Structure 1
């Protein structure tokens, strides 16, 4: 089961470094490649609330086997995709099936093992969960550069067969039991999926069509209507899709905000780095993976420290420390130039990598430590859902920021060049003598063709920096919420279990 979870987490990371390659191979514009990640995350968000219901109906054993089989088939579909539309369709199926694997693994820890063995089982599952994002970038880059991007998905086939057969043969007893379950609220699920899709499309179309365009207003209006209907139906239902009563606890509500912001910054940084390195620095996927490996190694090295401190210190202090450090790491990346490379990204990655576990473990105990026992399972699912929701919305907003700002920044650079600004010319790479000879004269076609790529790249770098600053400022603002959190006992047993379940 841990191997299956490793596959699901790895599938986000291995694809990240190869996004520019996939974009070029499928012939799509750069502003559409974000959907390779967004489709997966959005499908996961829809699947997470269904995990409890499906476990009750199918039993943990057959739910896991079925999810792994669907995930494996979807991976094959992604590998064989000949168009962008086919790839996105299979990524949705992949994300939906993968969304049930992580909760199932940690539920198995507490359902299948005696209490004396749970610590070891949690450690094994936790190592798999942390190792996937550590090795993902370098593995993805090596696979794409050595073979092709299709093998990013083909590598799931053999492990998927092994996991499916292994789980089917070895899980017995409680894992095969089915329990009575209430009917799933299909309309609420449809409202959730429709609302999220409308929001993603609205945010995507806004920069090109304008925020007041009928299509954009219609999509955002549909999102608002679906959201309101989802909340109303969920509160009125006897068997709600998600237990919104958890939000009546102040700590849980604030903890979910932290989870949302973490998803925004975490998935956002994983998208922005390969975007910059592929389109600005023009690195291949392997080199991108080598550069991004710094974050994963730092996270892996600091994880034991975070686990040790999380059991002994006030989660409010650790949460404030983790998110402040993470915000600093994001803001440090907001000053990149077109020449920024490995060493320019080294320090920000170290800072972000050191902060990640402090942004995951303490907020989870803080959020779930005061919930009644019967709401802890529901709260854990919602908490995890909010992180993925933050990632999906964050990617859409980051893409919106980049492609709305890039054109504006490019026009400003052109205006400065026309006014004879030497500093701007040197900053984007125009030789001093060539610019001085041309200054004061109208640009001919040859000169325009020479400087156009430089202007476009400089505008893109500035727009990417704006996206980094957006992530950093939002994360820093979230830190201020810590003053409203009530103290949580470090000995909250239910929360300790939920910490592992969420990770």
Structure 2
């Protein structure tokens, strides 16, 4: 694949450019962190403004739907506003929305502000990753991608610690108030330091509103359908209707986009083999990354009974390992074929996921330590090389659009992965409970040990238990069955992550930056 020459001005990025880029990374970090700190403190928010329990999840869903709609629009918004002004406007809106969330006294007000917060935050991640290839020459892109990547995956790792500490020490309002000062500082620094280009408001004249509506309906319906499917059932009329609406709207959007000279989102990027493969890797990474960050709190909270702060300290192992591995990843990324590094990264990440598939109801920090170390060491190798495969050979004017699609694929992978995990936990727990009872009635000592039941209560009962024994064992069996379902979810995530190795051989060689 031909290497596109970058503007000469990019061959010596000044300290001002680096400072401006770090300001962008800070804004992105706050947007990602916001999702996690709010997720871990939803019960506190629910009690604070008296939200019905069945509506509580909408605090997160409203944000995520708005975010996933905004991500692919980043290219269009960059062309209209320029990268500098897109970031400034987005982070200021994020700050305003955060203040609105903190001041909310009703459910409807909070959800409304969360929509604005999600939409403004959704543009920040692809904007940062496109800035890597627009602001910096090849030899500096690995360092820039590492800075962005470390912050992008560190935020959900430390989120439970920050969220738990804020809610226990202060109040839930501070989950949102912490965004204000860093956001304002980031906007000011970006205004001062990022390169200045002329906005092109004329782009709005060619805006295809029909395509925009189709895109929004498709992504919002898919996100909502994936959220509801595990509990309502994949074949329920509500979920089926949402998924059909997503498919029909998505097909209509695709047809219109491929026929227009200036589409909202240029799907033609998928004709580039390396971009297609890089995006597929991003999708697979989303399944494993979002899935692992979701499964660990589920296990620690519902099985081990830990609070948000305790969960955060346990999960910090991944973040620390990732920070240690980051300079190694940068060094190798400059000298090694990205296809080989991606293969190593996804193999290790799948291994780390699979290592978590052997937990028992008493597993704690020690049992989770080495799986987290393996995953933490692998993350940067699953992020840096695929980003270069997807975006590294595109001309700078195509990067913002392509970055939106690339990051959208990771979010969609995460949404589908979490829906898959929830489905496994909901549907497998009951049959696994029955299977454990059958094994206990048969006197299976391994099953008794896994459940945590005293051996003398299981062996020698001839397949029958007294009502008192059943009552004593039932909570243990229910918990053990949930653990087995969680283990199955870990293993399936590991298998799906391994699939990345099957598509890597089809990527074309990409010259490593020197």
User: What TM-score, normalized by structure 1, do the two folds share?
Assistant: 0.85
Q: CA deviation at 1:59?
A: 4.5
Match in the other structure for 1:360:
383
Equivalent-residue separation in structure 1 for 2:180 and 2:393 (angstroms): 42
SS at match of 2:508: coil
User: Structure 1's 484 and 65: CA in aligned 2 closer, same or farther, altered over 3 A?
Assistant: closer
CA shift digits 1:231-272 (9 cap, x unpaired):
111111222122111111222211111010001111111111
Q: 1:10 — aligned with what?
A: 33
Aligned to 2:261: 238
CA separation in 1, counterparts of 2:493 and 2:473? 31
Matched residue of 1:174: which SS?
A: coil
Correspondence for 2:300: 277
> Closer, same or farther in 2 for the Cα pair 1:387/1:81, shift >3 Å?
same
| Larger displacement relative to structure 2 (428-437 or 317-326) | 428-437
**Residues 351-360 or 204-213, more deviating:** 204-213
Structure 1 residue 298 displacement after superposition: 0.8
Q: Is the 8 A contact 1:46 1:189 kept in 2?
A: no
Aligned residues between the structures: 488
Residues 1-40 of structure 1 aligned to structure 2 (within 5 Å): 1-2=23-24, 3-15=26-38, 17-18=40-41, 28=53, 39-40=62-63
Structure 2: how far apart are the matches of 1:19 and 1:366? Answer: 38
Q: Return closer, same or farther for 1:247/1:164 CA change in 2, 3 Å cut-off.
A: closer
Q: Give 1:15 shift.
A: 4.1
Q: CA deviation at 1:147?
A: 3.3
CA distance in 2, matches of 1:143, 1:212: 40
Q: Provide TM-score, normalisation by structure 2.
A: 0.83
Q: CA deviation at 1:36?
A: 5.8
Q: Quote how far apart the aligned CAs of 1:380 are.
A: 2.5
Give the secondary-structure state (helix, strand or coil) at the position aligned to 2:346. Answer: helix
Q: Which residue number corresponds to residue 13 of structure 2?
A: none
Range that drifts further, 264-273 or 204-213? 204-213
Cα distance in 2, alignment partners of residues 308 and 429 from structure 1:
47
The C-alpha deviation readout for 1:296-324, integer Å capped at 9, x for no partner, is 11111111111111111111111111101
Structure 2: distance between partners of 1:263 and 1:384: 9
User: Hey, what's the Cα distance between the residues in 2 that align with 1:215 and 1:122?
Assistant: 41
What is the Cα deviation at residue 391 of structure 1? 1.4
Residue pair 1:138, 1:290 contacting (<8 A) in 2 also: yes
- Residue of structure 1 in register with 2:170 after alignment: 147
Aligned to 2:405: 382
Does structure 2 conserve the Cα–Cα contact (< 8 Å) formed by 1:20 and 1:274? no
Distance 1:306 1:435, change over 3 A: same
Instruction: Say whether the 8 Å CA contact 1:17–1:285 is kept in structure 2.
Output: yes
Further displaced range: 427-436 or 103-112: 103-112
**CA distance in structure 2 between the partners assigned to 1:334 and 1:21 by the alignment:** 31
C-alpha distance in 1 between matches for 2:497 and 2:369 = 20
Partner of 1:345: 368
Is residue 488 of structure 1 aligned with residue 488 of structure 2?
no
RMSD between superposed Cα atoms in Å: 3.5
Residue of structure 1 equivalent to 2:94: 71
Find out whether 1:227 has 2:250 as its counterpart. Answer: yes
Mapped to 1, the partners of 2:431 and 2:107 lie a distance apart of 28
Whole-angstrom distance in 2 between the partners of 1:167 and 1:116: 23
Q: Residue in 2 aligned with 1:499?
A: none
1:309–1:114 distance in 2 versus 1, CA, 3 Å: closer
Q: Distance in 1 between matches of 2:135 and 2:340?
A: 34
2:479 corresponds to 1:457: yes
Matches within 5 A, 1:27-66: 28=53, 39-66=62-89
String of CA shifts for 1:278-299, please: whole Å, max 9, x gaps: 1110111111111100101111
Distance 2:329 2:145 in 1: 15
Q: For structure 2, which runs of at least 5 residues remain unmatched after alignment?
A: 1-22
Contact kept, 8 Å, 2:142 with 2:334, in 1: the verdict is: no
- The change in CA–CA distance for 1:121 and 1:420 in structure 2 (over 3 A counts) is closer
Please report how far the alpha carbon of residue 426 of structure 1 lies from its aligned counterpart in structure 2 after TM superposition.
3.8
Pairing of 1:116-265 with structure 2 (within 5 A): 128-129=151-152, 132-133=155-156, 135-164=158-187, 167=190, 170=192, 174=196, 177-178=199-200, 180-182=202-204, 183-265=206-288
Measured in 2, the distance between the counterparts of 1:24 and 1:401 equals 30
Deviates more, 1:271-280 or 1:181-190: 181-190
Are residues 164 and 319 of structure 1, via their aligned partners in 2, closer, same or farther at CA, if it must alter by over 3 Å?
closer
Q: Is 424-433 or 297-306 further displaced after alignment?
A: 424-433
Change (3 A) 1:151 1:459: farther
Structure 1 unmatched ranges of 5 or more: 493-503
Structure 1 pair 23–320 and aligned structure 2 pair: CA distance change class (3 A): farther
